Amino acid sequence: MPAFRVLGFPVRVKFGFIVFLATVIIWNPEIGWQFAIAITLFSLLHELGHAVAARRLGAEPEIALDFLAGSTRYTPPRPITPIERALVAVTGPVVEIIAGLVVLGVMGVNPFDVPRVFDSTVAGVVWIAGPAFGLLNLLPVLPLDGGHVLAGALESFWPRHGQGLAICFSAGVTGAFAVVAILEHRIRWLAPFALLLVALQIWPLLPRRFSVSKRSKTRGLGTENDVRVS
């Protein structure tokens, strides 16, 4: 879909995001449309957090809203440190969490009294799409933002192997959860999502992926400084 601009950043809504929102609405027709609106707004705020932080590094970020998640892509004009990349990654979920807390506060709802939050359908939707999803994104598992923070920390100590270690750790944790989900019938419905996440995590480690990445850089489709955060 054509891009529009928010705060000067180009934002592209991909077809996968429309499919995702339609799935949310169909899955729960009673509150699905409210949840879809909340996901759209908080996802955009999340990515704007990344984009503003990246712009402070001199980059010109681009935002995309896609299936299950959004992403912000930026190419800094200079090599950035792992700590700077981690700060860009953490800014998105922090903005999402704070925005959710502010909205709930304006509604007169105590966001820390979780059982009472769900006395209101709208408050419950805001709590899930804002603080809950923001906190989930801070888990130290790639490709979540917390995983990028972990990768940045590891690269500070092991510049050549930090990213690979973060990927292996993420795949190990997610794979273990997938096994537990398969064995535990109450959460078995989460197993396909966990397995999909494992596939996304190990994809960068595949030899073919590295060869494609090198060809892309040769053709000018990317640079070593090109960064994408969720």
Name every residue whose Cβ is closer than 8 Å to that of residue 227 and which is 6 or more positions away in sequence.
54, 73, 74, 75, 76, 80, 85, 88
Q: What is the pTM of this model?
A: 0.81
Q: Is the pLDDT of residue 210 over 50?
A: no
Say whether 132 sits in a helix, a strand or coil. helix
- pLDDT at 172 (0 to 100): 92
pLDDT in tens, 145-166: 999 889 888 888 888 888 889 9
Percent of the chain with pLDDT over 90: 53
Q: Is the pLDDT of residue 2 over 80?
A: no
Strands, E, within the chain: which ranges? 4-6, 9-13, 62-65, 70-74, 227-229
Q: Is the pLDDT of residue 198 over 90?
A: no
Structure tokens at 117: 């939050």
